[in-house]
Structure 1
Amino acid sequence: MDDFFELLKKLAEARGPSGFEDEVRELVAREMEPFVDEVVVDRWGNVIGVKRGSTNYRAMVAAHIDEIGLVVDHIEKEGFLRVRGIGGWNEVTLVGQRVWVRTRDGKWIRGVVGVTPPHITPSGKEREAPEMKDLFIDIGARDREEAEKLGVTIGSVAVLDRDVVKLQNDVVAGKAFDDRVGVAVMLYALRMLKETPTTVYTVATVQEEVGLRGAQIAAEKVSPHYAIALDTTIAADVPGVPERQHIVKVGKGPAIKVIDGGRGGLFIAHPPLRNHIIKVAEELGIPFQLEVLYGGTTDAMAIAFRREGVPTAAISVPTRYVHSPVEVLSLSDAVNAARLLAAVLEKTKPNIIEMFLDKKIK
Structure 2
Amino acid sequence: MDKREEELLIELVNAKGVPGNEDEVRAVFKKHAEPFADSILYDGLGSIIAKRTGDKEGPKIYFSGHLDEVGFMVTQITETGFIKFEALGGWWEQVMLAQQVQIKTRSGKVIHGVIGSKPPHVLTPEVRSKPYQMSDMFIDIGASSEEMVEEWGIRPGDMVTPYIEYRRMNETKFLLAKAWDNRVGTAVSLKVLENLAESGHPNILFAGSDVQEEVGLRGAQTSTNLVDPDIAFALDTGTAGDTPGMTPKEADSKLGEGPQILIYDASMIPHKKLKDFVIGIAEELNIPFQYTVITGGGTDAGRMHLARNGVPSLAITVPVRYLHSHTSVIHEDDYLNTVKLVTEVVKRLDKEAVCKIKEY
For 1:257, the equivalent position in structure 2 comes to: 262
Measured against aligned partners, the alpha-carbon deviations of 1:119-167 in whole angstroms (never above 9, x if no partner) come to 1123431242111101100111110011011111121220001111111
Q: Is the 1:78–1:143 Cα contact (8 Å) retained in structure 2?
A: yes
Measured against aligned partners, the alpha-carbon deviations of 1:160-200 in whole angstroms (never above 9, x if no partner) come to 01111111421111110000000011111122212111100
Q: Is the 1:171–1:331 Cα contact (8 Å) retained in structure 2?
A: yes
Q: Is the 2:59–2:350 Cα contact (8 Å) retained in structure 1?
A: no
Instruction: Tell me which moved more, 134-143 or 238-247.
Output: 238-247
What SS does structure 2 have at the residue aligned with 1:15?
A: coil
Whichever residue aligns with residue 173 of structure 2, its letter is D
Match among 175, 191, 208 for residue 194 of structure 2: 191
What stretches of structure 2 of length at least 5 have no aligned partner? none
For 1:222, the equivalent position in structure 2 comes to: 227
TM-score by length of 2: 0.96
Measured against aligned partners, the alpha-carbon deviations of 1:200-250 in whole angstroms (never above 9, x if no partner) come to 011110000011111100111110000111000011211122344333111
* CA deviation after TM superposition for structure 1 residue 329, in Å: 0.9
Q: Partners of 2:287 and 2:179 in 1: how far apart?
A: 26
* CA deviation after TM superposition for structure 1 residue 117, in Å: 0.7
The reply on whether 1:67 has 2:72 as its aligned counterpart is: no
For 1:182, the equivalent position in structure 2 comes to: 185
What SS does structure 1 have at the residue aligned with 2:128?
A: coil
Match among 110, 131, 134 for residue 132 of structure 1: 134
What stretches of structure 1 of length at least 5 have no aligned partner? none
What SS does structure 2 have at the residue aligned with 1:239?
A: coil
What SS does structure 2 have at the residue aligned with 1:268?
A: coil
Q: Partners of 1:214 and 1:71 in 2: how far apart?
A: 19
Q: Is the 2:58–2:351 Cα contact (8 Å) retained in structure 1?
A: no
**1:94-105 matches, cutoff 5 A:** 94-105=96-107
Q: Partners of 1:358 and 1:104 in 2: how far apart?
A: 50
* CA deviation after TM superposition for structure 1 residue 348, in Å: 1.1
* CA deviation after TM superposition for structure 1 residue 293, in Å: 1.8
For 1:232, the equivalent position in structure 2 comes to: 237
For 2:326, the equivalent position in structure 1 comes to: 325
Measured against aligned partners, the alpha-carbon deviations of 1:273-307 in whole angstroms (never above 9, x if no partner) come to 11111111112111111112222100000100011
TM-score by length of 1: 0.95
Q: Is the 1:247–1:293 Cα contact (8 Å) retained in structure 2?
A: no
Whichever residue aligns with residue 86 of structure 1, its letter is L
| CA RMSD, 1 decimal | 1.3
Instruction: Tell me which moved more, 79-88 or 347-356.
Output: 347-356
For 2:30, the equivalent position in structure 1 comes to: 29
Q: Partners of 2:125 and 2:215 in 1: how far apart?
A: 37
**1:265-280 matches, cutoff 5 A:** 266-280=267-281
What SS does structure 2 have at the residue aligned with 1:267?
A: coil
Identity, % of aligned positions: 38
Q: Is the 1:4–1:335 Cα contact (8 Å) retained in structure 2?
A: no
What SS does structure 1 have at the residue aligned with 2:311?
A: coil
Whichever residue aligns with residue 297 of structure 1, its letter is G
Q: Is the 1:237–1:243 Cα contact (8 Å) retained in structure 2?
A: no
Q: Partners of 1:182 and 1:22 in 2: how far apart?
A: 17
How many pairs does the alignment contain? 355
Q: Is the 2:175–2:332 Cα contact (8 Å) retained in structure 1?
A: yes
Instruction: Tell me which moved more, 146-155 or 36-45.
Output: 36-45
Instruction: Tell me which moved more, 306-315 or 286-295.
Output: 286-295
Q: Is the 2:58–2:350 Cα contact (8 Å) retained in structure 1?
A: no
What SS does structure 2 have at the residue aligned with 1:173?
A: strand
Whichever residue aligns with residue 12 of structure 1, its letter is V
For 2:169, the equivalent position in structure 1 comes to: 167
The reply on whether 1:306 has 2:307 as its aligned counterpart is: yes
Q: Partners of 1:293 and 1:116 in 2: how far apart?
A: 35
* Deviation >6 Å, runs of 4+: none
Instruction: Tell me which moved more, 41-50 or 342-351.
Output: 41-50
For 1:201, the equivalent position in structure 2 comes to: 206
Q: Is the 1:5–1:331 Cα contact (8 Å) retained in structure 2?
A: no
